[in-house]
Structure 1
Amino acid sequence: MSAASVEKHPEQSEAVAENEEAEAQQVETAADGVEPKAGNEFDYLERNEFTSEIYKIEVKNMGYFGIGELKKLLKNTLKLDMTKIKSPARKEYAFVCFRSQADQQRALETLNGYKWKGRILKAVAAKASADPLQKRRGEANDGDVKPKRQRTAVEATCPLAEMPYEQQLEQKTEEMSALLKKYTQELRHLNADAKPHLDKFEFKGVLPSPTVQGYRNKNEFTVGKNAAGEIVVGFRLGSYSDGSVEVAEVQELPHLPAQAKWAARSFQQLVRQSKFQPFNPDGNVGHFRQLMVRCSSATGELMLVAGIYSSNLNETELLELQQELKAFYEQPEQNETHKCTSLYYQDVKHREAGQMVNPVTHLSGSTHITDTIQGLQFRISPLAFFQINTAGADVLYQQAIDLAAPNQETIMLDICCGTGTIALAFAKHCKQVLGVEIVPDAIKDAEHNAETNGIKNCKFFTGNADDYIKSMVREAVYGQEPGKPIDLIAVVDPPRAGLHTRSIAAIRSASDIKRLVYVSCNPNSAKRNFIELARPESKQYKGEPFYPKTAVAVDMFPHTTHTELVILFERDSKTTPAESVEQERTKECNESLAATA
């Protein structure tokens, strides 16, 4: 994993997956030798994982469009078997990839001349993208590109590490204030009715993390080589697209706990003595690709998930490698400093169509680890989302509770609930909590966590938030006594890219939701959602706007440039809660009668 992307949420929404530039030639998880040689920029096309890059088309003259609506046109309306869509922001064209020449040809014939949104589309075959690593190497060999000084591991992952912590907080406060000022200025121009609300908008600054050193409870390390050609388990110092695949050790990094550093060092020892090789993206050879480490400050438990590229292994070799992993961590000498309490194998290779995550197999030890937030115990599975900074999460969740101000009549919707951490923290303050999450294992953890903590007023759903928001609102409304006002709040803690437009539209149209707490790990990306929540009512965004009332940031990532932001949104409703319930019931009744007729 690239050091630059270390703060990214592990979950991926459908919208992120659709836009993801996860080209074969941009694999971000490996390193090659000391003196790389430039190869053919299109050699990767000969490998069978990346046929979609061969069968690619360009669709032009599209006007303004969303990735989601284009996908719906291609898959649902035109029944085209596409694998992914790529489109630069604010452009009137898109690249669509397919797995076979027949699928590509059918798409060309169907889309060329097709009328969509008042425009006549034009579709042409597109050339495959060049491998950026090989391209940069070729330019370097030609003398066109001057080599850059390679960053150190600290520079790549903790750029603020040399700065006193108080100064880090001051810098982050200034940056967050500037971002919120730009957001409110944009909103003033977009929605005149927002001005009186924005005049009262308050930013309370950036709160410090209770733990500044060794706070990261989850890390993903790359298996590769350093500048000297030695096998290293650590962080990438640059990006594949910049022609850099060098990996550096992590022992000097201030934000990693001792357990994580030991895990990287021990896995490095295993790889160095194994007959199996580190993965090399230059030709997709080798086996050891990455190591995910999860650790608990509450229990001392340590989970290791070894990411293996299995395409170069037969069944016998794969079983041998898994046994080697298991045997290595069962050696007494390996457990003298720290102990691996949970060991997994993960098959990390090119994903099949529709595959969201790479599957994991349990090898030894316990299947989960346990950590504590807000005095509650949480079981964590390998792929589930859990806040990176456990102590910081205590502060973050308390701020969300304080801003939402729930009471014993409140029903809370937790959108993107993960393992239920926010939902369960809110539960004792609310009448009921309903949560939705797309990762099935995370929902199993959430249900287990509710039972373990004796919490009985939570209900969790597995699925895409876009599809479940309306049904959760309906369940909350219909569970309320007729004529009794409903206090319905929503809390969202989405992936870095923010919520999908459909989720925002669903929240806007749910008139019973009066307060919304938005927790963002990347406020720059989430600014789009902030605008969508507060823009004037339209055909796409039905329902009264949500206006920002109060914001507070929490420094969940000391020594880095990242900050977590919490914003309370409220909206003025033209309809009373009792009227809204009655309108919803009338609408349901009419739809039922229409269906019967």
Structure 2
Amino acid sequence: MVYEKNQLLTVEIIDMTTDGEGIGKIDGYPFFVKDAIIGDKAQIRVTRVKKNYAYGRLEKVLTPSSFRVETKCPFHKRCGGCQIQAMSYERQLQFKESKVKNNLIRIGGFAPEFLDKVMEPIVGMGEPFHYRNKALYPIGMDKEGNPVAGFYAGRTHSIIANTDCSLGVKENKEILEIILSYMKENHISAYDEATGKGFIRHVLIRKGFQSGEIMVCLVINSKIGKKNSTFLPNQDRLIGSLSNIKGMTSISVSINRERTNVVMGKEVHTIWGKDSIKDIIYVRNVENNFAATGRGITFSISPLSFYQINPVQTEKLYSLALSYAGITGKEVVWDLYCGIGTISLFLASNAKQVYGVEIVPQAIEDAKRNAAYNDIENVQFFVGNAEEIFPEKYEKDGIRADVVVVDPPRKGCDKACLDTVLKMASERIVYVSCDSATLARDLRILCADGYEIEKVRTVDMFPMTVHTEACVLLAKRKSIKEKSLVVERVV
């Protein structure tokens, strides 16, 4: 049968893509439907037709899936942030665990029966809402000329006005409403991407979950540097209102006059309070269902710092990485793509020596400050590409590692890094990944040349979204026979 655009059809949703789209089939021909849930019987309108598949828009749920739930946010369909909020949390966890496993099979080439042995249960959240310690709100103007804050609609830069995101902390709403009221009272315009004109571009809000400290940074389209530290019209009025909020610790502005999608400017000026906030990440006992141990590391977080957005799950993820590393106090450890040193400092408490490398200079400065603040001396940080620094320190300076920890960006590890890991032949590798597709690709390479997966565990860092993290322990292969656990060798 030939399908046409705008045609109305009825389909049963039998599966979901890794991006959270429902998959329905008619006579074997697949339709991809946003906002549809596995088990839905739905009426869809065809939006795009290809030779081997088509896209449809969900018009009506005729028979809801047993996994479909009432959503907390009325904007979840329009906003690109919560792709699977309409799915029960239990089913979300199954979806994410399957996503990791399927990528390891399809891309990594690992046998399903082998993965059944090494995959441990997914680590979920008790309360999967209001977990984000960071929010970045674009600021715009509505049709009546009033300032609005919210999030971009999926795949657009059109702002959906919403100051009360169900994933953010409760203080976000109060802070945003103060800023919007201040803008309206003082006739301050929002930035317009099309013209490059307007004043306030974004608002960054960060909160330390353990410390309770709050940071607000306004990204402004303004000329750099005023000698009296006044960057905003009627600045004291805004500071007076924001500083009354419980926990408010830092108020700053970031100067960004570039016509770019990059949000934060390179120059940040504190206009009230401290330059940074602090938070504590506690080590948890993995063997005892992640029970608290009382051991914590304090981190200083600036507006430009990278810091995991879900502190509850971060403690579990990093404690899992520490557990997998199996450190006894004698080991030298490399932490590649170390950020502000979060995993490095976790490892240092048990290791002989830790080396961290990160390309962002500000992150390394933060890492060094965090090490000093926590009186951790057995860690050294390097600025640069991991694929350059790591091989150089091994080949020229002879610095090897008993354990290598990698936590790369979504693109995965660079080939030069993997080559050096293989040459170094460390006893163990702990791979922390935010993208299971590139994780599978890299594991395939490592397991084709000397390593074997011992454990895999998915950690749900981003409930209500399709994104997830995974932690993998690899050890040097003990025998040739274990190669059979990889479906085929990488050439």
- TM score, norm. by length of structure 1: 0.60
Q: Summarize deviations over 1:496-550 as a string: whole Å, max 9, x none.
A: 23233333333333x2423221111222344443344345xxxxxxxx4444332
CA distance in 1, matches of 2:224, 2:339: 35
Distance 1:444 1:302, change over 3 A: same
CA distance in 1, matches of 2:434, 2:154: 22
1:361, distance to aligned residue in structure 2 (A): 2.4
Distance 1:465 1:473, change over 3 A: same
For 1:351-390, list aligned pairs within 5 A: 358-374=266-282, 375-390=296-311
- 1:165 equivalenced with 2:89 (yes/no): yes
- 1:495 equivalenced with 2:409 (yes/no): yes
CA distance in 1, matches of 2:458, 2:224: 50
Query: Which of 562, 568, 571 is the aligned partner of 2:473?
Result: 568
Number of equivalent positions: 395
Partner of 2:169: 257
- 1:182 equivalenced with 2:87 (yes/no): no
Partner of 1:505: 419
Q: Pick which of 151-160 and 435-444 moved more.
A: 151-160
1:424, distance to aligned residue in structure 2 (A): 0.9
Partner of 2:239: 330
1:290, distance to aligned residue in structure 2 (A): 0.9
Query: Which of 522, 528, 531 is the aligned partner of 2:435?
Result: 522
Q: Which has the higher helix share?
A: 1
Partner of 1:401: 322
Partner of 1:235: 151
- 1:154 equivalenced with 2:76 (yes/no): yes
CA distance in 1, matches of 2:257, 2:421: 36
Query: Which of 179, 193, 196 is the aligned partner of 1:267?
Result: 179
Q: Summarize deviations over 1:542-587 as a string: whole Å, max 9, x none.
A: xx4444332101111122221111112233499xxxxxxxxxxxxx
Alpha-carbon contact 2:186-2:234 (below 8 Å) kept? no
For 1:401-550, list aligned pairs within 5 A: 401-473=322-394, 477=398, 488-509=402-423, 511-535=424-448, 544-550=449-455
SS of the aligned residue for 1:154 comes to coil
CA distance in 1, matches of 2:234, 2:426: 50
- 1:222 equivalenced with 2:150 (yes/no): no
Unaligned 5+ segments in structure 2 are 1-55, 60-72, 283-295, 480-491
CA distance in 2, matches of 1:404, 1:452: 24
Distance 1:182 1:399, change over 3 A: same
SS of the aligned residue for 1:370 comes to strand
Alpha-carbon contact 2:276-2:303 (below 8 Å) kept? yes
1:489, distance to aligned residue in structure 2 (A): 1.0
Distance 1:571 1:147, change over 3 A: closer
- Paired residue type of 2:461: M
Distance 1:493 1:267, change over 3 A: farther
The RMSD of aligned alpha carbons is: 3.4
CA distance in 2, matches of 1:443, 1:314: 25
- Paired residue type of 2:122: V
SS of the aligned residue for 1:423 comes to helix
- Paired residue type of 1:154: H
Q: Summarize deviations over 1:20-78 as a string: whole Å, max 9, x none.
A: xxxxxxxxxxxxxxxxxxxxxxxxxxxxxxxxxxxxxxxxxxxxxxxxxxxxxxxxxxx
Alpha-carbon contact 2:340-2:367 (below 8 Å) kept? yes
Distance 1:546 1:319, change over 3 A: farther
CA distance in 2, matches of 1:512, 1:325: 61
Query: Percent identity at matched positions?
Result: 27
Distance 1:200 1:233, change over 3 A: closer
1:401, distance to aligned residue in structure 2 (A): 1.5
1:172, distance to aligned residue in structure 2 (A): 2.1
Distance 1:148 1:288, change over 3 A: farther
1:319, distance to aligned residue in structure 2 (A): 7.9
CA distance in 2, matches of 1:314, 1:426: 40
CA distance in 2, matches of 1:200, 1:257: 37
Partner of 1:106: none
CA distance in 1, matches of 2:439, 2:199: 37
- TM score, norm. by length of structure 2: 0.71
SS of the aligned residue for 2:158 comes to coil
CA distance in 2, matches of 1:407, 1:314: 51
Distance 1:475 1:555, change over 3 A: farther
CA distance in 1, matches of 2:229, 2:185: 14
Unaligned 5+ segments in structure 1 are 1-145, 189-194, 479-485, 536-543, 575-597
Alpha-carbon contact 1:211-1:392 (below 8 Å) kept? no
For 1:195-344, list aligned pairs within 5 A: 202-226=118-142, 230-240=146-156, 245-251=158-164, 253-310=165-222, 322-324=231-233, 326-331=235-240, 333-338=241-246, 340-344=248-252
1:257, distance to aligned residue in structure 2 (A): 0.6
